[in-house]
Structure 1
Amino acid sequence: MGRVFVISDHHFGHQKIIDFESRPFANAAEMDEYMIEQWNAVVSQEDKVFHLGDFSFYNKEKTKAIVERMHGTKSLILGNHDRGRSKAWWLDAGFNDVSEYPIIYQSFFILSHEPIYMNKHMPYVNIHGHIHGQKYEGQHYFNVSVEHWDYKPVSFEDIKNSLVPNEEQ
């Protein structure tokens, strides 16, 4: 297996998200193409991507066509806009696995759609989306909404490196 990536909140096919989040696209079709290109620019077929929700506003046929064009093994954690569709719907649309709940990854990272309350004494890091261009302060939160990453999935290696203070040896 290759590298592991995380990303959230593509909102494929959602014209209004362009205005809501000041995305630099003329229309949803232009946005969709750019986001697929950005995904495939960093993700190979051997890689795994955790998508933290709010993937597509399209019907199953159009959603499946997008998923099939995107490299890697894809896991979906359902976001608030994904929940109107069943787990089976998302599997049929091409995701390799689907979770209705947050996932604990490598016993340290909590992958969720919405940020989870984390007090300063908790040793975990919550990797999340949902809040788009906003950002929570502190070392307990890492926002992987597409707006922060030029619509490219973020590698776990980069996330880990950003959380570890640089120490001179």
Structure 2
Amino acid sequence: MSRTFFTSDHHFGHKNIIDFESRPFSGVEEMNAAMIESWNSVVAKEDKVFHLGDFSFLNRDKTRAIVERLHGYKVLILGNHDRGRSRGWWLDAGFDEVSEHPIVYQGFFFLSHEPMYMNKHMPYVNVHGHIHGQKYEGKSYFNVSVEHWEYKPVPFEQIRDSVAADEEQ
């Protein structure tokens, strides 16, 4: 049975992100290899992964080489660092689907790169990235940036159960 996962902000090939976000890697090659291994440790080939942006700073061939190594059917929602490249560029780099806009998942979860404005009366949850190690307060936001999740994609069930637990409080 396939599962669905969410993740964001890998910044493959981005040397400066190691210092910017205090990532525990000595260099880009180690970071890239560790993140591929972390992804594949939880995602099976038949699973679906929504990547919520800022995937790679590498050229198309190097990006494609990484995408090909990652398990799952991969959907990219373009992040601020991805938008300089066309939707076709990302499809050619190996993504199965690419969206330039947020996606509504199961009628309740807004999937976006940047956090969206959510007032306390909106009965939805914004699954997002972009803010890396920071966290928005409140039950309306769920940050899937890799820094919060040991560089592993987050299973949908974990997000759903976390939101349900917040509502019970």
The letter for the 2-side match of 1:99 is S
Once the two structures are superposed, what CA deviation does each residue of 1:114-141 show, in whole Å capped at 9, x if it has no partner?
0000000000000000000000011000
Once the two structures are superposed, what CA deviation does each residue of 1:76-115 show, in whole Å capped at 9, x if it has no partner?
0000000110000000000000000000000000000000
Q: Which runs of 5+ in 1 are unaligned?
A: none
User: Which structure 2 residues correspond to residues 23-102 of structure 1 after superposition, within 5 A?
Assistant: 23-102=23-102
Number of equivalent positions:
168
Once the two structures are superposed, what CA deviation does each residue of 1:31-66 show, in whole Å capped at 9, x if it has no partner?
000000000000000100000000000000000000
What is the SS of the residue equivalent to 2:38? helix
Once residues 167 and 146 of structure 1 are traced to their aligned partners in structure 2, the CA distance between those partners, rounded to angstroms, is 25
- How far does residue 164 in structure 1 lie from its aligned partner after superposition? 1.1
Question: Counterpart of 2:124?
Answer: 124
User: Which structure 2 residues correspond to residues 13-24 of structure 1 after superposition, within 5 A?
Assistant: 13-24=13-24
Question: Counterpart of 2:159?
Answer: 159
CA contact (8 A) 2:129 2:144 kept: yes
The letter for the 2-side match of 1:33 is A
**Percentage of matched positions with identical amino acids:** 73
> Which portions of structure 1, spanning 4 or more consecutive aligned residues, are displaced by more than 6 angstroms?
none
The letter for the 1-side match of 2:78 is L
CA contact (8 A) 2:139 2:166 kept: no
Q: Which runs of 5+ in 2 are unaligned?
A: none
Question: Counterpart of 2:141?
Answer: 141
What is the SS of the residue equivalent to 1:165? helix
Once residues 109 and 164 of structure 1 are traced to their aligned partners in structure 2, the CA distance between those partners, rounded to angstroms, is 13
CA 1:162–1:60: 2 relative to 1, 3 Å: same
Once residues 166 and 10 of structure 1 are traced to their aligned partners in structure 2, the CA distance between those partners, rounded to angstroms, is 27
CA 1:140–1:62: 2 relative to 1, 3 Å: same
- How far does residue 166 in structure 1 lie from its aligned partner after superposition? 8.3
